[in-house]
Amino acid sequence: MLRDLEATGEFRARSGTGFALTPALREAYASGSDEELEYAALLEAARASLRLIAAEEKAEPRRAVVSVDVDDATLRPDLDAAVVRLAGPVPKSQIAAIHVDSTEAEDAVAAAAAVIDAADLGDEDAEFTLGDAEDHELAWYALQELPFLLELL
């Protein structure tokens, strides 16, 4: 998806699904600044990227989240508190940042992708494995760094 972004100049979220600071997400937390709640949405997006990794046979074992600034997202509380549907492809001009795992996270991310479905069903061991991956902070990249980031992948 990142390579497509570089080639086309647009980011196309799988099934148009995104994660955002929504009213439902705000209600789910007793307190927290907008920045803290946006970080919670980022973590939800990172967890969702594990599902994309699990679905692809040759996927890089690194979570990736593209942060965008859009006004026309539709809330999807039927899926989760932070889930939104994007209206369509997002042009580069609306991309705020790209967040990607470092190489040190690859083993933990691969293990987490292998058990993401079990974790969703409540398996405590699988949830522990997800925690190992989530202990790795995503690195922040500016859009201008995308060509260099792709070389590193």
**Strand 139-141 to strand 83-85: parallel, antiparallel, or no bridges (unpaired)?**
unpaired
Q: Looking at residues 126-146, what average pLDDT do you find?
A: 96
Give the pLDDT mean for 82-91.
Answer: 95
Q: Please determine, for residue 92, whether its predicted confidence score (pLDDT) is greater than 90.
A: yes
Mean pLDDT across the chain, nearest whole number? 93
Residue 76, pLDDT score: 93
Give the global pTM: 0.90
Predicted pLDDT at 31: 85
**72 phi and psi angles, rounded to 5 deg:** -110, 40
The confidence score (pLDDT) of residue 18 equals 95
What is the pLDDT at residue 2? 93
Among the listed residues 83, 67, 73, the one whose alpha carbon sits nearest the alpha carbon of residue 28:
83
| 72: three-class secondary structure by DSSP | coil
pLDDT at 58: 82
Q: DSSP H helical segments within 9-145, as ranges?
A: 23-28, 34-55, 106-120, 124-134
Per-residue pLDDT of 42-83, as tens digits, reads 999 999 999 999 998 888 899 999 999 998 899 998 889 999
The answer, yes or no, to whether residue 30 has pLDDT greater than 90, is no
